[in-house]
Each structure stands twice: as structure tokens, then as C-alpha cells.
Amino acid sequence: MSAPSLEQLAQALAEPRRLQILQELLGGVPLPVGALAARLGIAPSTTTAHVARLLEAELLAVEQQGRTRLVRIADPAVAEAVEAILRLTGEPPVSSWAASDRRAAMRRARSCYDHLAGDLGIAVADRLVEQGLLDEGLGSARGTVDDIAAGIGLPLAVADSSRPLVRGCLDWTARRPHVAGRLGAALLESMLTAGWVTRRSEDRSLRITPVGAECLEKLQL
């Protein structure tokens, strides 16, 4: 299948609700249409129509889990494009305690597709740079994966793929880089596996657990 044209992409993204769907899926976790509809506060039928347009434009992909049909961001390139669009926008206004809580949680720690973002992601990146394990621009690693694992205090299983090992991803809320690439994905997965952070069901923010808070404090993060 050929890639969509610029006109097709522009038409797919012209509807704000479709951008919101992509933003909700930027957490890297596939979701059923019903869950997306609940997060956005719109009818499942409307959400289904929007998802169909995004699938047509190859911005989303479908996963089947038993009888459940899940949708996800198509690939890392789409996630990078969505994050870039978000950086051009301001944060939406808040008019309730729940919205304020969500904004604070998103700023503190969240998943940016498959890697760690927010204040915690930036703190981890700064620490690895201070330790001389990553270069200042987050464009390359100066230490081995084992060195980086020792520096952060977690085992890291870095996948083999054509993606770069490490790259800087400019954070949407703080406007400073956090660690992306295969290393960024491994860091987030290790924190989830170790129970340092857990995912929130209502959005893509992450909760820092008591165990995680204690370990991060030891690392002065």
C-alpha cells in the first residue's frame, strides 16, 4: 500500500477530535474504541467514524485481542509527528479540579509513545548526561547499555531494530529533551516492570509508586 498523500493527511488531521484520538493513543497502549470515546466524552459511533479516517490515512493500526478490536498509533514516525504538533500548541485551559490534577500528572511523568516523558523523563536524561553516559544533545550514547543500566539502577533489555539507540525528544510540556529511541523504550519498560511507575487508566500519565519514589530519591531524581 502506498503512503498517503499530503492532502489525505491534511484532511485526516483537520478534525480536532482526530488529533485528540492520536494524542490519547500517544501513551503507546492500544485501546478499544469504547475507551477512546469515554476519554473524549463523545459517542462511540462518532469515535468509530474518526478512527476509520485515521486508519485510512495510515496513522492508526488495528490489533485483535480475542474478540476485542484495539487501535494504536501506526508506528514511531506517527508518534513523533503528533508530539511535534503538540509542541506547536499551548496546553488546554483547565476549569475543574480533575482537569488540574490530570495536567499536573501529565507534567510529572507520562509515556510518550514507548518512552518516558515529563519532568521525570527529563530528570533521567539529565542524570545520564551528568554521569557521562549520554552526550548533552541526547544524540548518542557514550557508555554501553550495561553502563547506563548501572547508572540508573535498573536492568535494561534494549530491542534490536532499525530505530536509533538513543535520540532526544523535545518534551511537549517542559520544552526540554527526554530520552527516546530504543534506549528510551527500554528505560520506560524497566521502570514499569520494576514497579517504579504504573500507568493511569484515564490518560497516558504515570504514577510514581512508593517503591519508585524511594529508588528515585536514592538516585537524586
Q: Residue 174 pLDDT > 90, yes or no?
A: no
Structural domains of the chain sorted by starting position, each given as residue range(s) with its CATH number in brackets: 6-87 (1.10.10.10), 97-218 (no CATH)
Residue 89 φ then ψ, to 5°:
-115, 160
pLDDT at 2: 67
* pLDDT tens-place string over residues 105-129: 889 999 988 999 999 999 999 999 9
Q: Pairing mode, if any, of strands 206-208 and 115-117? A: unpaired
* pLDDT tens-place string over residues 189-215: 999 999 999 998 878 899 999 999 999
Predicted TM-score of the model (pTM): 0.83
3-state SS assignment for residue 30:
coil
Instruction: Indicate the pLDDT class of residue 3, thresholds 50, 70 and 90.
Output: confident
* pLDDT tens-place string over residues 6-36: 888 888 888 999 999 999 998 888 999 999 9
CB distance 78 to 67 below 8 Å: no
Of residues 198, 176, 211, 190, the one with CA closest to residue 145: 190
∠119-123-129 over CA atoms, to 5°? 145
Residues comprising the chain, all counted = 221
Q: Among 80-94, 100-114, 171-185, 187-201, whose mean pLDDT is lowest?
A: 80-94
d(CA 36, CA 51): 10
CB-neighbour burial class of residue 48 (10 A; exposed 0-12, middle 13-18, buried 19+): middle
pLDDT at 94: 72
pLDDT at 1: 53
Residue 212 φ then ψ, to 5°:
-65, -40
* pLDDT tens-place string over residues 117-170: 999 999 999 999 999 999 988 988 998 999 999 999 999 999 888 889 999 998
3-state SS assignment for residue 209:
coil
